[in-house]
Chains A and B, each alone.
Chain A
């Protein structure tokens, strides 16, 4: 089946530093990838839509200068949390939309970010 990976799975960083999270589709091409954020005991919140070769589309309320998204290839999207603060601590999950398959998305395992 379709597999999506994320790296790292866990990261702890100090306040003010930047952290990059990678999302890869391992056995299929993904023109579109999505980034979600999940707070404890809550559902996933869509942050942005990442399209290969173009700028990401951010959901209302999500700071695009703080959460930089790059979709450099059909199998890789990255999310960079810039100047991280403790309130950015969260679980970040990506999903990849299989190119050519109607509305099929596959989720990565998530990245736990802790900002101290």
Chain B
């Protein structure tokens, strides 16, 4: 069964805008990871945030984690057409569970 649930399911923005995706989960976790997947391709690891961390940055990516609300958000700033992809959150405990993903479309 899936653990993480992302919302929105689909997001369409213009190049240069920011994109925010959210993820909620149900059980206790050790860490939460965000992945990107281009159509028909494998997963690309973006960022890992541990349960004792609240915020993490990597380039244009900003991830927050609120363990009290069991939620995380991924912010992509100054989006580019190349950011068009599906984004998944994955929670890590004894195994790893994925949400259904957010399909992001960045229009040039």
**Beta-carbon contact of A93 and B95 below 8 Å:** no
Min CB–CB distance B71 → chain A (angstroms): 17
1/0 per residue, CB under 8 A from B, across A78-110: the answer is 000000000000010101000000111111111
Q: Is B43 an interface residue (CB 8 A)?
A: yes
Q: Which residues of A contact B97 (CB under 8 A)?
A: 46
Q: How far is the CB of A38 from chain B (nearest CB, A)?
A: 9
Kindly identify which residue among A41, A46, A105, A107 contacts B42, using a CB–CB cutoff of 8 Å: A107
Q: Is the CB of A103 within 8 A of B93?
A: yes
The CB with the most chain A CB atoms within 10 A, among B31, B42, B103, is that of B42
Total interface residues on A, CB under 8 Å, equals: 22
Looking at the assembled complex, report how far the CB atom of A13 sits from the nearest CB atom of chain B, in whole angstroms. 19
Contact A44-B98, Cβ < 8 Å, known A107-B42, A110-B42, A112-B40: yes
Whether the Cβ atoms of B42 and A43 lie closer than 8 Å is: no
Majority DSSP secondary structure for residues of A touching B: strand
- In the bound assembly, the distance between CA atoms of A103 and B45 in angstroms comes to 14
List residues of chain A with CB within 8 A of the CB of B35: 107
CB distance B43 to A103 under 8 Å? no
Indicate whether B12 reaches chain A with its CB closer than 8 angstroms. Answer: no
Report if A34 contacts B (CB, 8 A).
yes
- A108 and B42 contact, CB distance less than 8 A: yes
Q: Provide the B26-55 mask, 1 if CB < 8 A to any CB of A, else 0.
A: 000011010100001111010010000000
Judge whether A110 and B43 touch: CB under 8 Å.
yes
The A-contacting residues of B in range 62-108, CB under 8 angstroms, are 88, 92-93, 95-101, 103
Listed in ascending order, the chain B residues whose CB lies under 8 Å from chain A are: 2, 30-31, 33, 35, 40-43, 45, 48, 88, 92-93, 95-101, 103
